[in-house]
A and B are shown apart, each in its own frame.
Chain A
Amino acid sequence: MSALIFLICISIIVALVFLVAFIWTVRSGQYDDDYTPSVRILFENEPPAKEKSIKK
């Protein structure tokens, strides 16, 4: 029976880890803007712009 108690403790601790992770994501503002990042990810990284502007 103690195995059962042990397992339940473990499962709740694992679940708690996810709860803490969730609270952390909310606090750090990851849900503040759910649109812009989806656009931002599609922008291409360009070649460094500095050289060209110096040439000009």
Chain B
Amino acid sequence: MQLHYKKRNVSEHIQCFHCGEDCLDSSIHFNEKVFCCEGCKLVFELLDEKNLCTYYSLNSSPGVHHNAITPSERFLYLDEISVAQKLIHFSDGNESRIIFYIPKMHCSSCIWLLENLQKINTGINSSTVNFLKKEVLISFNKSAIQLSSIVSLLAYIGYEPLISLNDLEQKIEKKTNKSEIIKIGIAGFCFVNIMMLSFPEYFSLGDFYDQKNLKQFFGIVNLVLSLPVFFYSASDFFISAWKGIQQKFLNIDLPIAFAVLVTFLRSIYEISSGTGAGYLDSMTGIIFFMLIGRYFQNITYDNLSFDRDYKSYFPISVSVLRNNKEKSTPVSDLKMGDRILVRNNEIIPADSILESESTYIDYSFVTGESRPIKKLCGELVYAGGRQIQGAIELEVVKEVSQSYLTGLWNKESSSTKEAQSFIHLTSKYFTIALFTIALTSFLYWTLASDVNRGLNALTAVLIVACPCALLLSATFTNGNLLRVFGKNKLYVKNALVAEKLTIINTIVFDKTGTITHGSAVKFIGKNLTTEEKSIALTLAANSLHPLSRKIAEHFSNIEKCRVDNFQEILGYGIHGKVEGRSVILGSEYYVTGSKKAFSATASKVFFSIDGLVLGYFSVDSSYREGITNLISDLDKTYEVHLISGDNDSEKEVLKKIIQNENRLHFNQSPEDKLEYIKLLQNQGKKVIMLGDGLNDAGALLQSDIGISVSDDINNFSPSCDAILQGESFNKFKLFLDFSKCGKNVIVASFVMSILYNIIGISFSVQGNLSPVIAAILMPVSSISIVLLTTLSTSLIAYKKGL
């Protein structure tokens, strides 16, 4: 909504100096600068006082708009030692260091300001930003400033850190890929040096090389160089292969580990016996390339989290009332019987009984129901709803970890997702075939009493037929696939998910938030004055009709006034007296008396004051753009279902999108959704689920692939396999097609590399392959696979317009 403001009518309006939003008038100003709200002005005043106005010269209006500044008491719970200890990373004497995650960070001005915090408060020693992770590391003087003051300072200047319950319960060890990079570095170093020392062998440089000691020296140096590669860089392959054996599962790492081992042993034998130079160059080279492939494939999105659970959705602290005193307490410390105070727009953290008279609770995120639900005093209120009327008091009846919502989430353990890549499946047969051939040839020669030749054959088969090529082509193709997806705002958790996209045959959509989204409101008619806007807002804010709420949201930064005689007439509209003037908002018929055709794309809300019609609010149909085309496209090859937690008021519209009525389901509880997915899976279907809210969490986990659709990827999204940004929703079919092409590329390049090897081995068996050509062929074949897969997937992506 805020972004939306920015785009419109830029020329007509004065923009806030701080955040760039339109100002209603120039009443809020300071130093000849105009601001949209007091909050923005306060930030400017603070920065101006501390001589930090460079913030505004780096980018124009870089600030973050915030209507209400969170009162600093909200952060007091951070000062409790038990809480602070869990958050602080490092503490020594006076100095403590803490890392905050700040989702609002968006430009170089943000970096600049956040790295100059010490100029605002001298208790802060230094701060360092990691922009990609949206983190700031603050080191501060414990005795000079408290943790809560730092957080409230950040919140004050518009960068409130996101502290989730997760942070409090356990420290998450940040996975580092440092050792991975070092492994690649060492493998690369050794590979290149071994290659260099093998040149005399390749070119059979006669005279010098024939001297025994020189040849031996080269061999020994090569052997020494290969040790770190074998024992350190390749360790992952051995570990993974060993785990596979323990679990009686033939994974692709087993034949690779075996090939590496055999090559290494044979090379040692050849070098020590002086019969040859070994294959250390090939061994280190292939390890080097495979490590690069894995690194390339394991693309990570630093600022995205796929494994969020209820803990990151719930607020971290809540006001507990004890002896009429408010005390901010971490949610995890809530106990049964605690009285809590929940303000407007806050989330109810635990199942509790309403103590205030009545309230409205918006469960749209939890259940998918779009209309807020009225709750009366004494009723049980489930955790997870957003409270939308004033401040209410509640008595906690269940601890957070036992609430209804949490229970739903914990069901996840019942469904296990099989993590089987088709590469692993292929490699299973491949491995069996490979070992059979190797052993048969060995036995053949041994029985023919030529053990030496048998050993030769065994190692040759293993070395040449090692499925390294399959792994290489798969890792590079998948890595590139993930990159293309990421560029198009589909963030996939790992390569396995991208691969699984190819086997999907059933697609299940959620309605609210997935195929619908927050809609745009426009006023068409005369230019409204601030007063008129305020009147419309006042009236709309009193109604809970979805259209009224959208209008109220549209004017969220305007002050409300008083309303009398408010009345809502279902199906028509609302009216009341605002500031003594009679105001009507409602359907065209209700306001103007004339009736026109119903428009499916946009709803019109007419607005009149004292009988004079000023115009109408056009509220766009909230369906995502291109949804009809997308679904009819998908319908040709896939089975498309829709399950919604909402009521069936939009059934008629949806029937036009999904023709098969048996596949439309309304009023589905979160469990129903989960069961529905299970039912489809029991019919042998491979299901992909697209959802957004907590109500889809169970279904997302149960489905073969769960994609969470979100308009702002930094917002909360339930645990899933991929996050799709709303604007790329209409590309969904392309993504599915593209992943199929990716699989074809893997298969094609694998077949090609096998052919390579067969040709190679047939030559070498006949003794026609000179060592230099073999040495050139090895890296060339690897590199050509890498190039082929990367280029072809990029080309396909380009052709598909991704």
Contacts and interface: CB of A to CB of B under 8 A. Distances in A.
A32 B130 contact: yes
B197 to A, nearest CB: 7
A33 B131 contact: yes
A27 B178 CA distance: 7
B193 interface: yes
B54 A46 contact: yes
A32 B300 CA distance: 13
B115 interface: yes
Nearest to A5: B217
Contact of A36 (B49, B111, B119): B111
Interface string A1-36: 100110010001001000100110011010111111
Interface stretch (B182-190, B419-427, B784-792): B182-190
A33 B130 contact: yes
A35 B131 contact: yes
B130 A26 contact: no
Contacts of B49: 53, 56
Nearest to B129: A36
B25 to A, nearest CB: 29
Contacts of B10: none
Given A27-B178, A36-B130, A4 B189 contact: no
Interface string A24-56: 001101011111100110111010010011001
A24 B181 CA distance: 12
Contacts, number: 68
Contacts of A5: 214, 217
A36 B217 CA distance: 47
A40 to B, nearest CB: 7
Interface in B189-246: 189, 193, 197, 208, 211, 213-214, 217, 221, 225
B185 A22 contact: yes
Interface in B109-150: 111-112, 115, 119, 129-133
Contacts of B656: none
B50 interface: yes
A35 B217 CA distance: 45
A39 B119 CA distance: 20
Contacts of B213: 1
Contacts of A34: 132
B108 interface: yes
Contacts of B131: 33, 35-36, 39
Given A8-B197, A15-B193, A1 B208 contact: yes
A1 B221 CA distance: 16
A43 B157 CA distance: 20
A36 B132 contact: yes
A56 B48 CA distance: 10
B113 to A, nearest CB: 11
B51 interface: yes
Contact of A4 (B50, B130, B214): B214
A33 B135 CA distance: 11
A26 B51 contact: no
A46 B213 CA distance: 65
B51 A40 contact: no
A29 B178 CA distance: 8
B131 to A, nearest CB: 4
Contact of A1 (B133, B193, B211): B211
Contact of B51 (A1, A23, A52): A52
Contacts of A33: 130-133
Contacts of B54: 43-44, 46
Contact of B193 (A4, A12, A43, A46): A12
Nearest to A56: B49
B111 A39 contact: yes
Contacts of A12: 193, 221, 225
A33 to B, nearest CB: 5
Given A8-B221, A32-B130, A40 B115 contact: yes
A42 B112 CA distance: 10
Interface string B32-65: 0000000000000000011110100010000000
A26 to B, nearest CB: 5
B112 A43 contact: yes
A26 B193 CA distance: 21
A53 B182 CA distance: 48
A16 to B, nearest CB: 8
B185 A26 contact: yes
B213 to A, nearest CB: 8
Given A39-B131, A52-B51, A23 B111 contact: no
B181 A31 contact: yes
Contacts of B217: 5, 8
A40 B130 CA distance: 11
A33 B99 CA distance: 14
A8 B741 CA distance: 48
A19 B185 contact: yes
Nearest to B192: A15
A53 B119 CA distance: 10
5 contacts: A1-B208, A27-B178, A36-B111, A46-B54, A52-B51
Nearest 4 A-B pairs (CB), nearest first? Answer: A49-B51, A36-B131, A33-B130, A39-B108
Interface of B: 49-52, 54, 58, 108, 111-112, 115, 119, 129-133, 178, 181-182, 185-186, 189, 193, 197, 208, 211, 213-214, 217, 221, 225
Given A19-B189, A23-B182, A32-B130, 11 more contacts: A1-B208, A5-B217, A8-B217, A8-B221, A19-B185, A36-B111, A39-B131, A40-B111, A43-B112, A43-B115, A46-B54
